Structure 1
């Protein structure tokens, strides 16, 4: 487990709250009641904050809105399209709505639509085999071929397990094929870290994210301030991105 994933696991609301409650129990055993109360209060506040949809809309929306989503045909022309493996919130249309497979929009679907809109003559797919089986890149390449995209237009990078490796190995492959400007495809939430990592590898990036997923639900304004298990569970993706940005910045990867 890398540093970013370890820190993410530590500050995920449920994990963090359990750790703090354990600490509070120890403090109580040593008769440190005031400190135990303060620690418990922090645990409850942290969990309550992330359980409100408003928190996700605020902090997740800040990341998602750094790059504007445009219909495929409105994106500029580039040398290549690069699609990163992975899924954010199961590619659901809206974090706060029930999962509907009919409404999902995946990264590879976005990449295919850009290629079909003739935004670039080459499409690269990037991602290793996370479970030791077929790589994400191979799975995405198979989808592209099923959409009628020729094999000669598809480049496969299947060594990368992390965003940094996506950028590192993709940059090498792009350089080998003399491809300089790319339309980068990933989730809107993941785009700030991804774009920065690719630029660090001297790749000319044009962000072409999947449509934002963290949008206000069609309900009363009060609903976004009410605790929701769905919001609490989804918050880990937002926390992961902020932790990832911090770790990547510290390590000089962005």
Structure 2
């Protein structure tokens, strides 16, 4: 299903593009069936306005984030390792000599992983594939998201990385490949680091792969929509709506796929 989402541009079935399509359908209907056209177009416009606000996005964000809770005592969790999942990347960053670097979502996960490592002393595994060419033509090679994350942890946060899983293409493969690596070193219980909206799906597949999972979510957005500005349409509001709906669809599919 998520491969399907990636194959047919996600924007066609997620906001805002799906809402623009709904509005377009309404306008096409308007000429022949004015009332139906007004209802369809008006519904699309209203949803576009609502989902473009952080208050509207919270209608989908909060249910996801309430499926997990902040980790308050990592030292007493009984974990043997920290696993941090990749997000996206900024390609060919000129300020880093044309190398790929983790995007801001990945950096938030890495920062929290570094915080947990300093508190617990546990070894870290970074997980993420989807290789891309390095910027330096003289040393061109395929690099994985996991490799870029490991570099950031070591160089920017001063935290060691024991394992790099660099083959996975999605969360299901994050779990399968990471579990295989950890089991070789006798690791059975982990602190799993990802953002709060991604945690329900991640926890499910890592538990299905056979690991004992202690959730360590970061980046909670649902309870931030409290000011009057939360009702003003913004790019951030639409980003949260897009991400939350993507995760809800993915969670539903993973429940069917892995039980």
Q: What TM-score, normalized by structure 2, do the two folds share?
A: 0.78
Q: 1:174 is matched with which residue?
A: 182
Structure 1 vs Structure 2 CA RMSD? 2.9
Name the CA distance, whole Å, in 1 between partners of 2:208 and 2:111.
Answer: 26
Say which of 119, 131, 141 aligns to 2:150.
141
Write out the 4+ residue segments of structure 1 that deviate beyond 6 Å after TM superposition.
Answer: none
- Evaluate the alpha carbon distance shift between residue 35 and residue 136 of structure 1 in structure 2; reply closer, same or farther with a 3 A threshold: same
- Evaluate the alpha carbon distance shift between residue 131 and residue 105 of structure 1 in structure 2; reply closer, same or farther with a 3 A threshold: closer
| TM-aligned CA deviation for residue 206 of structure 1 | 0.4
Say which of 181, 192, 201 aligns to 1:193.
201
Instruction: After superposing the two structures, state which structure 1 stretch, 56-65 or 69-78, moved more.
Output: 69-78
Whether contact under 8 Å (1:56, 1:231) holds in the other structure is: yes
Q: 1:92 is matched with which residue?
A: none
Gaps of 5+ in 1: 89-100
Q: 1:96 is matched with which residue?
A: none
- Evaluate the alpha carbon distance shift between residue 8 and residue 129 of structure 1 in structure 2; reply closer, same or farther with a 3 A threshold: closer
Gaps of 5+ in 2: 90-102, 135-142
Whether contact under 8 Å (1:183, 1:206) holds in the other structure is: yes
Whether contact under 8 Å (1:80, 1:181) holds in the other structure is: yes
Q: 1:183 is matched with which residue?
A: 191
Name the CA distance, whole Å, in 1 between partners of 2:191 and 2:158.
Answer: 20
Q: 1:14 is matched with which residue?
A: 16
Q: 1:246 is matched with which residue?
A: 252
Residue 223 of structure 2 aligns to a residue whose secondary structure is coil
Q: What TM-score, normalized by structure 1, do the two folds share?
A: 0.80
Q: Would you say how many aligned residue pairs link Structure 1 and Structure 2? A: 234
**1:1-254 → structure 2 map (5 Å cutoff):** 2-5=3-6, 6=8, 8-28=10-30, 31-70=32-71, 73=74, 76-86=77-87, 106-118=108-120, 120=122, 122-133=123-134, 134-146=143-155, 147-150=157-160, 154-216=162-224, 219=227, 222-250=228-256, 252-254=257-259
Residue 81 of structure 1 aligns to a residue whose secondary structure is strand
